[in-house]
Amino acid sequence: MTPAWQPCADEPDTLRATPCPGGPLLVRGADEVVSPTGERRAVRRAVVALCRCDASTIAPWCDGSHKVVRRARSSSAAPASPVAPGDAPA
């Protein structure tokens, strides 16, 4: 099976977007990216990674910040210790 981010031989000009689980949106075939406010950014690569975690310092492009955000969320979501106050081991 061909990955979604590769161009199809019969549709070379098709825009393709593939969400990476826990990561960016990979976009292939775009000439530019337009923000919700109308700001236009030129695309200079065949495939670009767009940030979905809102933590990138180079938004709208992904800078890998989702890895840190994911780690922070998973460590803060760790269950609290079932030890009651005063029952802590010595």
**Least confident window among 19-23, 36-40, 68-72, 85-89:** 85-89
Write out pLDDT tens, residues 36-46.
789 999 999 99
**CB < 8 Å & 24+ apart, contacts of 44-52:** 47/5, 49/20, 49/23, 49/24, 49/25, 50/24, 50/25, 50/26, 51/24, 52/19, 52/23, 52/24, 52/25
Query: What average pLDDT does this structure show over 13-19?
Result: 89
Q: Are 16 and 29 in contact (CB under 8 A)?
A: yes
